Structure 1
Amino acid sequence: MSFQGEQHPGVQAPTAESHGFRLNHTMLRIKDPERALAFYTRVFGMRVLRRLDFEEMQFSLYFLARPEAGEQIPEASDERTAWTFDQRGVLELTHNWGTETQDDFAYHDGNADPQGFGHICFSVPDLAAAEAWFDANEVEFVKRADQGKMKDVVFVKDADGYWIEVVEAARMAGKGD
């Protein structure tokens, strides 16, 4: 029998109606798309799959991911849009036009009071090499792997101050109960 998920109070069995549902993307609001895109494409190696502009509402959506090597991504815009919304692990960056020119404008990162949203997470093949890469690219650290009570977990900030957890999957074995 295959793994069916851990059981905890409140967990319910999936229904037939939810068959095929999957998490597609997480959205972060960004002040300056040029800075945010430079960060995610350079530091984390993501690719922009699709940009959608909504002129009447004055905002743009940028969908980023790390496609697997050799993965076939449609060239035609409409096909690529549909393909993008069928993926897992997509990051949507939402830019409300004009925020990039407002010096005192910033989004709440969710970690300052009042707390709410916490972070997104990337797994990397080598945590020490990732830390060195972040240092070389002047990425701001919240916490390094050897700091705090939770060792082997890194937190950095993106261009808008959102926290990004960075882990090496093999180092996570044995954490918690």
Structure 2
Amino acid sequence: MVEIDRSFIINHTCLRIKDPKSIDFWTKKLGMKLIATIPFDSFTLYMLNYETEENKHLNWAAREGVLELCYNHGGMEEINNGNGEKDKGFGHVCVSVDNIEEAQEQFLKNGVRFQKKLSDGRQHNIAFALSDYENYWVELIENGINKEEGKTNVSSYRFNHTMVRVKDPERSLNFYRSLGMKLFSKKDFPEAKFSLYFLGFDHDPNFKEGTMDFAVQSKRESVLELTHNWGTEKDNEFKGYHNGNSNDNGEIQGYGHICISCKDPAKYCKELETKYGSKLDWSVKFNQGKAVKGIAFIRDPDTYSIEIISHDLMSDRMGKL
């Protein structure tokens, strides 16, 4: 049995960056805070978060809604934002805000570029910003937290979700459920022939899968969104999506992984291995990594990576910026 206690969270999403200056987009333009810097020989990790009264006393690894920016020393010539014709897979990250109209205006004043403004297209309740340097898509939705007319307050902002495209939603759902996640909600778009599945950890024993209201979901952090374009699961010609990490055939990297954090990752990984055995695809088993000990990496059916860590991992890096 795989025991999922209340410590389980989706902690962070990792994106590669061309230059440490990329941090300024997320902090100065979108209002995140740089909470930890973790240097290694060949790369440096920058941990960012919308800091709140509830999470500011926690280590970065014990928080939800963390963005990990990975800078490979010397930089990368190209970054794959996941939405081009080549190497498509990862789609976007999402920030939810109190007042989306006012937030968009504030972002425009801050010099943020937009792939889609609220007035564009059919959906006028969402927008897509573009990050500096890498052109990652950042979806904007409204959470309504302490909403005031004509105002926006960064204290209400949440790093809400991360979207990746999947070939077969049933295989993906079974996999993430095996890790202990639950389906929050599902949205079907018959005219465009795609569906969205939103997942994460919920520790309410009375929660029923698929019933989470958008008003509740939009206030959460670290939700995983799976996008399924209808028919891919039956298309033998479809080669699948790029996982963001492979460069074997001239593929371009960008997206890295999401991360599960809990109090006892060693126990969790052992329980997963005991129950599922060879059915699971481990790229790094627990505590066997070269650069960092005390972590593991597992791959989902589309070969996207999921890191597994403890709440106290590298707690000595908090505040060392």
- TM > 0.5 fold call: yes
TM-fit CA distance, 1:102 = 1.9
Q: Select the residue among 107, 110, 114 that pairs with 2:241.
A: 107
Aligned partner of 2:177: which letter? T
Equivalent positions of 1:1-177 (< 5 A) are 10=24, 11-12=27-28, 14=31, 17-19=152-154, 20-42=156-178, 44-69=179-204, 80-103=213-236, 104-113=238-247, 114-136=252-274, 137=276, 138-144=279-285, 145-174=287-316
1:143-168 deviations in whole A, cap 9, x for unaligned? Answer: 12223121111111011100011101
TM (norm. structure 2) is 0.47
SS at match of 1:34: helix
TM-fit CA distance, 1:72 = 7.1
Q: d(CA) in 1 for partners of 2:283 and 2:183? A: 26
Aligned partner of 2:268: which letter? A
Q: d(CA) in 2 for partners of 1:125 and 1:159? A: 26
Identify which range, 126-135 or 31-40, moves more after superposition.
126-135
SS at match of 2:227: strand
Q: 1:17 to 1:71 in 2, by over 3 A?
A: farther
1:1-57 deviations in whole A, cap 9, x for unaligned? Answer: xxxxxxx98453848745222111111111001100001112x21111111000000
More strand by share: 2
Aligned partner of 2:188: which letter? D
Q: d(CA) in 2 for partners of 1:72 and 1:126? A: 24
Q: What root-mean-square deviation, in Å, do the aligned CA atoms of Structure 1 and Structure 2 show?
A: 2.8
1:69-99 deviations in whole A, cap 9, x for unaligned? Answer: 36878x9x6x713222222121111100000
RCO higher in 1 or 2 (8 Å CA, sep ≥ 6)? 2
Q: 1:109 to 1:17 in 2, by over 3 A?
A: same
In the other structure, the counterpart of 1:4 is none
Aligned partner of 1:121: which letter? C
How many residues align? The count is: 167
Q: d(CA) in 1 for partners of 2:273 and 2:203? A: 26
Aligned partner of 2:309: which letter? V
Q: d(CA) in 2 for partners of 1:33 and 1:140? A: 18
Aligned partner of 1:84: which letter? Q
Aligned partner of 1:66: which letter? F
TM-fit CA distance, 1:175 = 6.0
Give the unaligned 5+ runs of structure 2.
1-20, 32-105, 107-150
Aligned partner of 1:25: which letter? H
Conserved 8 A contact 1:24-1:86: yes
Give the unaligned 5+ runs of structure 1.
1-7
Q: d(CA) in 2 for partners of 1:37 and 1:60? A: 13
Conserved 8 A contact 1:99-1:105: no
TM-fit CA distance, 1:128 = 1.3
Between the aligned residues of both structures, percent identity stands at 35
Aligned partner of 1:31: which letter? K
